[in-house]
Amino acid sequence: MSTSPFSTTEAFNNAIAGPTEGAIYTFAHRPNVNHMALAIASGIFIWFLYQLLSRKAAKPSRFHQSLAQLVNAVVKGLLSVVTAGKRPRSAPAKPADEAQ
């Protein structure tokens, strides 16, 4: 049983010329699948929010503190390397006009 609305590979590759002008919705003919995916994603999102807000604040161990410091140092170093190439370069000095 195929869940794809396309019967051949050529139909899939030529979808840009179809009525949707390139937008391919695999489950457009089965809206219940879209509703189920939305419900599952919403449930996972709510679960993450619940887990985030229900945690008790605990003092991190020394290992976790030093690991966090190491990660911060690595991230700051990588960001400085990435942004070093994006700094505006100063304009070269213009030679003085020799006619003066």
pLDDT digits (tens, 9 = 90+) for 46-96: 999 988 888 777 777 888 889 889 999 999 988 888 777 666 666 666 666
pLDDT digits (tens, 9 = 90+) for 2-38: 666 677 878 777 776 666 555 566 666 677 888 898 9
The H or E element spanning position 80 is helix 62-84
Residue whose pair of structure tokens reads 């070093």 in the numeric block:
84
Please state whether 95 falls in left (phi above 0), alpha (psi between -120 and 50) or beta.
beta
